Amino acid sequence: MSNDSGLIAKLEQWMVDTIAATGLFKTSDLWKHQIGLDGSGTESFKRYEPFAFVAYVKTYTAREGGHDLRQCLEFGVVIGVESKVAGVARFGDANNKGISALRDSLISTFDRTRPSDETITCDPFYFTLDFLVVDTPRQCALEMRFECSQMTADN
């Protein structure tokens, strides 16, 4: 891991590194607004695809029995594929993985998994939802959400 910042940055980098290790994506990186997902920036799909961009989304909190802070950290992973043939980006074919298969692979990669790095303490990640952010005949991008909990004990 190249990032030694706070917990959120460490978890983002762990997710990027884990995705890169799958070998499924040409680009696995932190979300730095590499492409526009509103249609105006989808021409940059070709430069990165197949891609997976990771970003922290939000935190919600709760208190446990001893008033210990429990942070539920939510992360988004946007995956995208472009194809020359209509429908292949979304559904794949014999030679190309589409969003559907890539989605399944990332769920298997992250659901009920946590970093083995001892400097990152959190509960396992869980898949929570996904939704299409780009869906055209030759381009498809899906945002997936995963969350994990982190406990901070009162001293």
- pLDDT, residue 66, reads 77
* pLDDT at residue 32 in the model: 87
Comparison of pLDDT for 4 and 18, the residue scoring more: 18
The arithmetic mean of pLDDT across residues 14-21, rounded, is: 96
How far are the Cα atoms of 1, 54, 69, 115 from residue 133, in angstroms, in the given order? 29, 14, 33, 28
Q: How far apart are CA 83 and CA 97, in angstroms?
A: 10
Looking at residue 39, what is its pLDDT? Answer: 56
Q: DSSP letter at 27?
A: E
* Greatest Cα pair distance in the chain: 59
Percentage of the chain lying above the pLDDT 70 cut:
90
What integer pLDDT is reported at residue 47 of this predicted model? 86
Closest by Cα among 105, 119, 135, 103 to 3: 119
Asked if the model's pLDDT at residue 20 lies above 90, the reply is: yes
Looking at residue 1, its pLDDT comes to 45
Task: Write out pLDDT tens, residues 51-78.
Answer: 999 999 988 888 877 777 888 899 999 9
Q: How far apart are CA 134 and CA 141, in angstroms?
A: 5
**Does the pTM exceed 0.85?**
yes
Structure tokens at 124: 């396992």
- Average pLDDT, stretch 43-58? 88
CATH 2.40.50.140 given to domain 7-152:
no
Per-chain mean pLDDT for the chain: 87
Amino acid at position 8, single letter? I
CA nearest neighbour of 57 among 75, 72, 78, 70? 75
Radius of gyration of the chain (CA): 17
Residue 155 confidence (pLDDT) above 80: no
Q: Within 40-146, where are the H helices?
A: 45-48, 88-91, 99-110
> How remote is the C-alpha of 123 from its chain's centroid?
17
Domain ranges of the chain: 7-152
pLDDT tens-digit profile of 96-136?
Answer: 999 999 999 999 999 999 888 777 778 899 999 999 998 99
Averaged over 20-24, what is the pLDDT? 96
C-alpha triplet 132, 147, 106: angle, nearest 5°: 55
Sequence-ordered alpha helix ranges (H) in the chain: 7-22, 45-48, 88-91, 99-110
